[in-house]
Amino acid sequence: MKPTIPFRTPMRALRAMVVAACLWAGACLPLPAQTRAVIPTADQVGADCMPDTLAPIRAPFEMPQLTRPVFPDHTRTLTAQELQQHRLASVAIQQAIDETSRRGGGTVIVPSGVWNVGRIELKSRVNLHLSEGAELHFSGRVEDYLPVVFTRSAGVEGMSLGSFVYACGQENIALTGKGRLIGPERDCPILKQNIGYGDFDRYIAYDKPATERIYDGHDGTAVFLPTFIGPVNCRNVLIEGVSLERSVFWNIVPTYCDGVIIRGVTVNSAGIPTGDGMDIESCRNVLIEYNTISAGDDCFTLKAGRGIDGLRVNRPSENIVLRYNLALTGHGGITCGSETAGVIRNVYAHDCVFQGTDVGLRFKTRRPRGGGGEQLYYERIRMNLHATAIHFDMLGSSQYVGSLAGRAWVEPDRFTPFYRQVRISDVVVEDATHFLKVSGIPESPATDVRISRATSNSGQLIRIHDMDGLVLEDAELTSPDNTVEISDGRNLRFERVSFKVDGGRVYRQIDGKLSSHIDFVDCTPEVEVKP
């Protein structure tokens, strides 16, 4: 479990602002020659360091300057008496939201206290504000999230329970404050009736419109697991300051939204299977900053739909900036995929820290998923990991895709995904099992990847399967391992790489009939052929 993270303090917020200013000014700290940028540490990022103001957004692609939604001055403060009138306090909360939206908007305040709730729907021009000490405890009963609503679960559309906090087709909405949202116990009916993350293809009637795929749990039948916070088809969304605990599925999941700001949020779903911290699903113009996540799966995740249904919808995730975030427990620090059908593009992640995460930068997809990822930029990242620092995991597991997880060449089709145009620079890997692992798809290898100015300490060096186009330059790699392993790699260039390995000699081991144009230039020591 992650340690308790207090809300930000003024001193830490000030320190974070100073670090940010230094980064953009190009200031330097005394780091190894390969890494001259200021790279933050764990105490300089995350929810504890969130400043009050939004700094300008900079990105290597066209990106709008997002601003918080503005709400009318009207404030509706709920009382304990109102919240206690019903079995679920969400009845009173929903009435206040609806009334405030109808009158033109404003802020609905939930006071300190423990309140049992079912589904809450955000409405246009309303900020739902959770006071410090307010706890919303969400029911685990299916009936408390009916009637069914339009949703997308694991990249597939249907009609089911939606989200604990839901919105559809709304504008200028917010969930703010220092309150806590707490999910149900693990033995709840919703989890018992879960359709199963790996079983979608067996259950979903893909020949029917999404509005006719109804999973309402009647008579104990299956439901899509609800996400925790899930606005759908919304514009100008703000999620700020709140804490989430004990989700039943993915935590913060905006879907088909335009203009999303997620900042200062703390998520703890450690130990919960498929308990992703946040998943950006086919959204555009998104800012994710100063968040702290401990997750049971990936921490900060970008997705764009799954397989045949995702290709039908064909909506990308694009124009996304992640900055000053802290990933603690989790399968991946920042992950693209594995649902990639609509394509993930124009992503810029900078000044983030992964402290105790498994993989650092994770690029996932599968042969049946379609789409892919491109124009992905990462700068000034610090990692202390249990597994690989940079991992292209494109084949997946036979548990989910059967024989398609194998390396045998398959005729490409519209379901064949890709990763290309990836830029990673100014990286410090304090500890990892591997610096770089690539498991590409033979007919769609990882392509056009450049890694610059990296300093790494890892148990093993580099393992590459199926890659076309890599530049690794100005890196210092420390490891007891002394072998770079490459299978079916082509157009790979290692330039000015310093290998600090046991025995002082480093080797290349190359196989596969496609391997070609693999160059080691100005590397120390000189890279020898494996005897």
Let me know if residue 337 belongs to a domain.
Answer: no
Let me know if residue 469 belongs to a domain.
Answer: no
Under-70 pLDDT residues of the chain: 1-35
From CA 82, how far away is CA 65, in angstroms rounded? Answer: 39
From CA 436, how far away is CA 388, in angstroms rounded? Answer: 7
Amino acid at 173: I
Let me know if residue 353 belongs to a domain.
Answer: no
Let me know if residue 197 belongs to a domain.
Answer: yes
From CA 456, how far away is CA 382, in angstroms rounded? Answer: 10
- pLDDT, residue 91, reads 98
Q: CB-based burial of residue 219 (10 Å sphere; 0-12 exposed, 13-18 middle, 19+ buried)?
A: exposed
- pLDDT, residue 18, reads 44
Let me know if residue 128 belongs to a domain.
Answer: yes
| Chain-centre distance for alpha carbon 161 | 22
- pLDDT, residue 5, reads 33
Nearest CA to 69 out of 10, 27, 123 is that of 123
- pLDDT, residue 415, reads 96
- pLDDT, residue 120, reads 98
The span from the first CA to the last CA of the chain, in angstroms, equals 46
Q: How many domains does the chain have?
A: 1
Q: For residue 520, what are the CA distances in angstroms to 61, 208, 395? A: 32, 54, 27
Nearest CA to 276 out of 337, 221, 324 is that of 337
Q: Which domain holds residue 214?
A: 71-263
Retrieve residue 135's tokens.
């706890």
Let me know if residue 300 belongs to a domain.
Answer: no
Nearest CA to 456 out of 437, 485, 421, 432 is that of 432
Retrieve residue 248's tokens.
């039943």
In contact, 104 and 73? CB cutoff 8 Å: no
From CA 241, how far away is CA 176, in angstroms rounded? Answer: 6
- pLDDT, residue 35, reads 58
CATH number at residue 164: 2.160.20.10
Q: Could you tell me if residue 114 is left (phi over 0), alpha (psi between -120 and 50 degrees) or otherwise beta?
A: beta
- pLDDT, residue 10, reads 42
From CA 385, how far away is CA 456, in angstroms rounded? Answer: 11
409-437 burial: b if 16+ Cβ within 10 Å, else e: ebeeeebbbbbbbbbbbbbbbbebbbbbb
Let me know if residue 303 belongs to a domain.
Answer: no
- pLDDT, residue 202, reads 81
Let me know if residue 432 belongs to a domain.
Answer: no
pTM of the model: 0.93
